Copies of this chain bind each other. A is one copy, B any other.
Amino acid sequence: MAQLARIPFSTAEYRDRLHETQRRMEDRDLDVLLVTDPANMFYLSGYDAYSFYVPQILIITPEQDQPLWVGREQDYTCATETTWLDPDNIVVYTDEYVDSDKHPMSFVADILAEQGLATRDIGVEMDAYYFSAHAYHELSRALPEATLHDVTKFVNHVRMIKSDAEVDCHRQAARISERAMQKGIDAIDVGVRQSDAAATVYEALLEGTETTGGDYPAIVPLMPSGEGTGSPHLTWTNETYKEGEPVILELAGVVNRYHSPLTRTIFLGEPPERVRTASQIIVDGLDAAIDAVEPGVTCETVEQAWRDEISGTIVEKESRIGYSTGIGYPPSWVEKTASIRPGDTTELQPNMVFHMIPGVWFDEYGIEISESLVVMEDGAEVLADVPRELIVK
């Protein structure tokens, strides 16, 4: 189950996911749901290929037994190999629709019209990464009598409480995160070229463990160093690491597209007192937030536990300290449902998964120490087992 497989979950589980989505569609009076986010497509159909650079769509209606997958002709066998769908439910457009005046959304509109759905209430993911402004215009032009509703994050919310099988993927992914982090800590050293350290980390992420090979992460390893640690989204360069600088390593082991992100900060040489102090405050705050996790508690209460702990210290932080995570495709593993921040009143429930990442950036450098966790009946299960501290080399 936790191995990378072409169809990682049981048909019963896919049916449950579909039924829950259909139930929520009825609550919203939606006749059709058009799913374009690759993570949501994977969740509902199993479709898994690096083909999301062309338009791909799942059509969902409340009565269906299975979603209808629509994609490019060239990807037909990707769909038959990776989804639980019958071949009848896999429909392809020809290359006439690729980079041309004919848009795949007009093909989708034709399918909806044939099914008598062209005048109905149709949900579209207006803010999904691969649903462009152009695609929306082509769709609305081809369906002038339909009412289009924005359902960005609609399926993301269905995904938020994981099944036990999904949590098992996160646990296996955390084994990979642990191993890649250790290999990264070993590789990052004074005089080592940053790109060589990145190569070691990537190799470990894909090698995985003896029982589970690794899948590619939605975000490449982020590894800013020195003054760059103030820039959390830098990758790496050709430069070598220098004595006396901090290096941040943020990575995620991935099994069947489920991510277990993990971050540590490594200091090369003797860290200044301020760096040691700030790191300890971050660890204490993170401990406090993790201790506050239990079913029924809200996201903002967890953030408050962090805030109370760091109050009055040199550490200040305005942005969120965590977010729900799970399935991810480039460019992100963020689920975009709940955030651990003031004002987010989402109640924690068993089998939710969060990445707690209280990154703190000062003028000259930044420090990030993070953990992924599962909400369990009796509190947080921290997924990876790596010393929660500033790593000094």
| A→B interface (CB under 8 Å) | 3-6, 48-53, 74-75, 77-78, 81-82, 95, 99, 124, 126-137, 150, 152, 193-196, 198-200, 202-208, 212-216, 219-220, 222, 227-228, 230-238, 318-320, 330-332, 334, 336, 339, 361
The 5 closest A-B pairs by CB, nearest first: A195-B213, A133-B136, A199-B206, A330-B330, A203-B203
**A228 to B152, Cβ gap below 8 A?**
no
CB proximity of A39 to chain B, nearest CB, Å: 12
Q: Are B234 and A213 in contact (CB under 8 A)?
A: no
Q: List 23 A-B contacts (CB under 8 A).
A: A4-B236, A5-B238, A49-B233, A49-B234, A50-B220, A75-B231, A75-B233, A77-B231, A78-B231, A81-B227, A81-B234, A95-B320, A128-B132, A133-B137, A134-B152, A196-B206, A199-B204, A199-B205, A199-B214, A213-B236, A215-B235, A216-B235, A330-B331
How many monomers of this chain does the complex have? Answer: 2
Q: A49-B233, A134-B150 are in contact. List 11 more A-B contacts (CB 8 A).
A: A78-B233, A81-B228, A81-B234, A95-B319, A129-B130, A131-B132, A133-B137, A195-B214, A199-B205, A200-B203, A330-B330
Residues of B within 8 A of A320 (CB): 95
Check A199–B202 contact: CB distance below 8 A.
Answer: yes
Most chain B Cβ neighbours within 10 Å, of A5, A75, A214: A214
On chain B, the residues within 8 Å of A133 by CB distance are 124, 126-127, 131-133, 135-137
Using CB atoms, name the residue of chain B closest to A230: B77
Contact B233 A50 (CB under 8 A): yes
Residues of B within 8 A of A124 (CB): 133
B residues in contact with A205, CB < 8 Å: 199
Q: Which residues of B contact A130 (CB under 8 A)?
A: 129, 331
- Residue pair B195, A4 in contact (C-beta under 8 Å): yes
Contact A238:B134 (CB < 8 A) given known A52-B331, A202-B206, A231-B49: no
A216 to B236 alpha-carbon distance, docked (Å): 10
- Cross-chain contact of A78 among B132, B208, B234, B330 (Cβ < 8 A): B234
Closest to A255 in B: B238
Return the chain B residue nearest A136 by Cβ. B133
A237 vs B5: C-alpha distance when bound (angstroms): 6
For A48, list chain B residues within 8 Å (CB).
235
